[in-house]
Structure 1
């Protein structure tokens, strides 16, 4: 989601008139013939109230982890058709962007809280004592995760990216945050940087910020007329550790970085796009020579998949990496026209492990879930979809993240919970036989 949380609620309220007790349509789901929903786990207490929005997903072994603005949920997915809730942990903080490694789980908090505890409430953005940043949990006992550490970061943590070190002794978190203001003690401009946290795996309580590299010494793209937010740091970063490569979606800019020195990443190339309002996220292909960037036009809260928006707005942009430069090849946007009551725009997705092809699954909020092929960078094509009906009454909702993991697609629905889909298509080859040990979508490994 594009805006920092405090201001986001005001905008959402004005645009969508949030309902305290939304009623959801139970039928009317449309799918392509090759896609089937095999399971749906509804939101449950304590995550069934207003503003208990489902957010990102992470996977490890037989477990899925779903972030929520009120905490996170652990699912047992040994049988994808019958996911079981193992635990729900209440720990409020937008957006609770989530990742896991070993026995550790990380949550991003991008709103000022009164303190760093899980029992706190919203604090004041102008308070010097307010806290926002990263929380770390020990998940060795999945039924009783334990909160063990917090790290405060400048401007909070809207998203974070897990980056393994080269010796296997630590992981780094690249913390993305933005939207500074002169009146915010912990988030004053300029803020053209990221925060990097080092987490020793044997002693995670020693985690700390080790560097704050400036990515945009010239301020980045701040003058393009249609930008939602001018460049001030990054919204999301995806890394390809094997190639020491990262792609950053940074509000007004798309970038590539050399991360061979994990604590000192260097921007190697930058691009802008007059059709992009908000560079939101990035996905590499399996060989690391393409990047798909998403444009979160309208900040995720607007209906941008109606007839009034052309296919180059609120879309994906496919770039080839040639000689270290980003070369634009095409745009891709779902072709199903959505109603003016449905917030819809390109959002989070991941690759499907198909040998010799570039195919990914992607969330589109109330536009649903799309599976599309960009093997031909200039001619991307959709090959499957899942499209639920509009929420009733009008509300912020739909698929926040849709990721492929060990034969199934898992979709985190903002309002409804967790959907599990299966796609059966000969174009996916033997993808269902590929077994992943873990998936943090912003940390990509070659299959």
Structure 2
């Protein structure tokens, strides 16, 4: 993990409850880390980034077991997932985000996406029914016991009063979901790619093996109550990566964890457990696999994907340990639990993915800090490939991969361990750039808003009418 360089000078902030004393900052490159690990709730960062707001979890979302999850944005609002539902925040003043409403509707992990006036939440745990009053059903219960898992659809025409419109059951539930707009004569339709998987060696109720497919839901935009599964394409007719018998943490492919679509480019990238995949989605209802890649040596669980703006590169993440392990330690090293940068190149008539380099935060974390590559997004800087990314308790990293072979971190921010004595799932689940600020959904601490001042970021574009979903990329070249 490149511990040879000293941490150097850094800001040190101490959180007291939900408040933090904020120090001024100047634009500068981040200091590299030595082996000094911050104390509980102590904040360290490079001088060019600071926390400007925090909104703690409230009500039904406050317990330690109620994990905050993904984020999506539209106009002045941020929508924050939680295993118990989702919260709507007014972020028109990023320094003073305000909670607008909280929808209690349990069903892990409530991964969240928006398209137009429709919001989608993913349920990846068997429930007694599709209502918001349902209870969990253990897999040990007989198959005859009623179960539901899949996708819930909400109308957010009035963000202060979301309306639950429809549920769609999907095989193996929905761990994540990806909206893909229809095209041409089909532009009144929306397709939702449902990613789900089975990490066991046994059949599960509602998730029989082999599960080498995704589910695709077709949503008539003007009549979302008519949404239904229209296809379940098998992506891995050969079964995909079979797993590594010598390392049980290297999962076999039995579904996809996440798919990121880039509709303008007719491409999607799938992180599918043991395989990285590039798709042709020119027909959104029938995606075609263009190529797959594997990394048996260093990748254990292909977790997510992000294109650069030109769709000439893909950043894949490896969620080693499933997000619950302390993977940012010298024993794990710099290439596991990391990002992998691939260039998209043309070989004959086909597109291929060619590996270029790894990127991992260069700071050591403690044994009670779950830390691994997780969710992030591009920062829209013309002519550059710059990304902000969450690393759970490893904090937030801003890094430049314009040179695919030599990625460079340019800013970082992190809290010390959530707990010094026990490993608790905590830290930044998602960190995204939206309208000039970084928003992070911290699993335990709530919504964080950060500001970065750096000459390399100054030209980043802003658009308050923008809609942002992490799994549905749009080009910022036309803004």
Q: TM-score range by the shorter chain?
A: over 0.9
Alignment counterpart, residue 297 of structure 1, candidates 320, 326, 329: 320
Pair 1:423 & 2:446 matched: no
CA distance in 1, matches of 2:336, 2:191: 34
User: Secondary structure at the residue paired with 1:313?
Assistant: coil
- 2:115 is matched with 101
Q: What is the CA–CA distance in structure 1 between the aligned matches of 2:229 and 2:472, rounded to whole Å?
A: 20
Matched, 1:373 2:368: no
Give a deviation string over 1:171-228, Cα, whole Å, max 9, x none.
1110001106654231111110000001111000000000000000000001334344
Greater shift, 420-429 or 389-398, is seen at 389-398
Matched, 1:174 2:193: yes
- The equivalences for 1:25-424 within 5 A come to 27-125=41-139, 126-128=142-144, 129-167=146-184, 168-179=187-198, 182-224=202-244, 225-226=246-247, 227-274=249-296, 275-323=298-346, 324-392=351-419, 394=422, 395-424=424-453
Instruction: Report the TM-score, using the length of structure 2 for normalisation.
Output: 0.86
- Say how many residue pairs are matched: 425
Q: 1:78 to 1:396 in 2, by over 3 A?
A: same
Shift of 1:313: 0.6
Stretch deviating more after TM superposition (421-430 or 218-227): 218-227
State the alpha-carbon separation in 1 of the partners of residues 372 and 162 from structure 2.
34
Of 346-355 and 96-105, deviating more is 96-105
Q: In the TM superposition, what is the alpha-carbon distance from 1:101 to its structure 2 partner?
A: 1.7
Paired residue secondary structure (1:299): helix
State the TM-score, normalizing by the size of structure 1: 0.93
Q: Unaligned stretches of 5+ in structure 1?
A: 1-22
- Alpha-carbon deviations, 1:106-136, whole Å to 9, x = none? 0000000011100011013343420000001
Matches within 5 A, 1:1-16: none
Q: 1:296 to 1:26 in 2, by over 3 A?
A: closer
- How far apart, in 1, do the equivalents of 2:284 and 2:161 lie? 32
**Residue 182 and residue 314 in structure 1: after superposition, are their counterparts in 2 closer, same or farther (change >3 A)?**
closer
Aligned 8 A contact 2:250 2:299 in 1: no
Counterpart-to-counterpart distance in 2, 1:309 and 1:252:
19
Structure 2 CA distance for aligned equivalents of residues 436 and 329 of structure 1: 35
Q: Residues 26 and 146 from structure 1, CA distance in 2 versus in 1: closer, same or farther, beyond 3 angstroms?
A: farther
In 1, distance between residues paired with 2:80 and 2:464?
20
Q: What do residues 66-115 of structure 1 show as CA deviations (whole Å, max 9, x unaligned)?
A: 00000000000110110000000000000000011222110000000011
In the alignment, is the contact (CA less than 8 A) between 2:243 and 2:250 conserved in 1? Answer: no
Q: Go from structure 1 to structure 2 and tell me whether the alpha carbon gap of 1:295 and 1:26 turns closer, same or farther (over 3 Å shift).
A: closer
Tell me the SS of whatever aligns to 1:431.
Answer: coil
2:40 touches 2:417 (CA, 8 Å); kept in 1? no
CA shift, 1:432, in A, is 4.8
Change (3 A) 1:124 1:340: closer
- Max radius of gyration: which structure? 2
C-alpha RMSD of matched pairs (Å):
1.5
| Alignment match, 1:14 | none
Q: Distance in 1 between matches of 2:391 and 2:474?
A: 24
> Where does the alignment leave 5 or more consecutive residues of structure 2 unmatched?
1-16, 19-38
The 3 A distance-change label for structure 1 pair 279 and 162 is same
State how far apart, in whole Å, the 1-side matches of 2:329 and 2:202 are. Answer: 37
Work out the CA distance in 1 between the residues paired with 2:277 and 2:203. 29
1:339 CA displacement: 0.6
The 3 A distance-change label for structure 1 pair 145 and 436 is closer
Check whether the contact 1:181–1:188 (CA below 8 A) recurs between aligned residues: no
